[in-house]
Amino acid sequence: MKVTFLGTAAAEGYPALWCRCERCVVARERGGENLRLRSSVLINDDLLIDPGPDLVGSTIRLGVDVADVQAILITHLHDDHLDPTGFLWRGAGFALPPLPVAEVIGTAPTLGRLHDREGKALDPAGLRFAPRPVSHGERVSVSTGGTHDPDPRVRPGRTRTSDGAPPLASLPTPPGSYRLPFLTATVARSYEIVVLPASHARPDEQASFFVVRQTLGPELTHGQPATVLYATDTGPFSDEAWNILDQLAHDGWTFGASIIDATLGLGGPGTAHMNLEQVVWHQGELGRRELLAPDAGRFAHHFSHNGTPPHQELTAHLAQFGVMPSHDGLVTHVGP
């Protein structure tokens, strides 16, 4: 299972938009891995977690194509994790149809935020998505790929350019290269998704974090499932969350990677986010509960300039605990 970090910052970005603190100044000077957009990850090329406000920027910056995404998981309704306007660009005239229908998975309050600036609910048919409300503790299956339902927005016999114009003869591409098949057939994969309660946001907002287990697809080693824990934004896991995780351990699940909220950095411990010490403790506790594969990647993720050193110092600090910081563009291959 391939995990691509599209963004790794907390709400204000790192360097932060309006900030000239020492860390932000150093981040701008050094550039590279110190420049973090708002947190989001892509699994393989068809499962996206958190369509946040930087999705356009991060996909352009990293050269990532998300047109095959067929599952969109949303942790919670905070603005740095969900920007509903991103869905509008799935509409005809913005994206070249056909698009596969993307299942959008989140709790009811999270999905309730899928509306436009006038408060009108987004149109699933027009934007090719299907809302799928889930509850904490629920396990859902998603199958992607294969041949998709036809996109009714495609008119047969017409050259598929987004604006209806014929392909440019002057472009050095083979003739007909714009004429893609009307039905997209993509790689078939299956995922099981476990929805866990996050210690974050107001209780009625039902923030979540996820375990994603890939059970089918060409990335799997000898067909063995690959599993990742994606736990941002959350404070220390609740008893309810640990109970669900213990059940997964009981069922024989282990994580090939665990990615945990580290917003508070070297600052004090939190209840709605974690500091580095809390991340290290959680990584250890997952191991003690037999939830981590022996060679699991242990990641800290979702960083703020308030408390998080620059990437190089952060990497050195976390290395003594066997934990790695995420950075934008990091790709990790998660094994069984």
How many residues line the site for Zn ion (CB under 5 A)?
Answer: 3
Which 214-233 positions form the footprint of Zn ion (CB under 5 A)? Answer: 233
Closest separation in Å from C-beta 49 to Zn ion: 12
C-alpha 228/C-alpha 298 separation (Å) is 10
Q: In the bound complex, what is the minimum distance in angstroms from residue 172's beta carbon to Zn ion?
A: 43
d(CA 243, CA 139): 14
Residue in this structure with the two tokens 């440019």, named with its chain if needed: 168
- For tokens 């963004």, what's the residue? 7
For 305, which DSSP code? T
Site string for Zn ion, 61-90 (x = CB under 5 A): -----------------x-x----------
Q: Which is nearer to Zn ion, 148 or 302 (CB)?
A: 302
The residue (of 45 and 80) whose beta carbon lies closer to Zn ion is 80
Nearest partner of 57 among 29, 86, 84, judged by Cα: 86
Return the number of the residue (78 or 301) whose C-beta is nearest Zn ion: 78
Q: How far is the CB of 326 from Zn ion (least distance, A)?
A: 13
Which residue bears the tokens 């990790």? Answer: 332
CB of 19 to Zn ion, least distance (A): 17
- Least separation in angstroms between CB 302 and Zn ion: 6
Q: Are strands 40-43 and 102-106 parallel, antiparallel or unpaired?
A: unpaired
Residues 228-257 that bind Zn ion (CB under 5 A): 233
d(CA 185, CA 188): 9
Identify which of residues 7 and 225 has a Cβ nearer to Zn ion in the complex: 7
The helix, strand and coil proportions of the chain, stated in percent and rounded to the nearest 5, come to 20, 30, 50
Whether the CB-CB separation of 324 and 298 falls below 8 Å is answered with yes
- Which helix (DSSP H) or strand (DSSP E) does residue 294 occupy? strand 292-301
Query: For Zn ion, which is the closer residue by CB, 39 or 59?
Result: 39
Q: Taking the complex as a whole, how short is the minimal distance between the CB of residue 75 and Zn ion, in angstroms?
A: 8
- Angstrom CA distances, 249 to 141, 226, 257, stand at 19, 14, 14
33 binds Zn ion (CB under 5 A): no
Residues making contact with Zn ion (CB under 5 A): 78, 80, 233
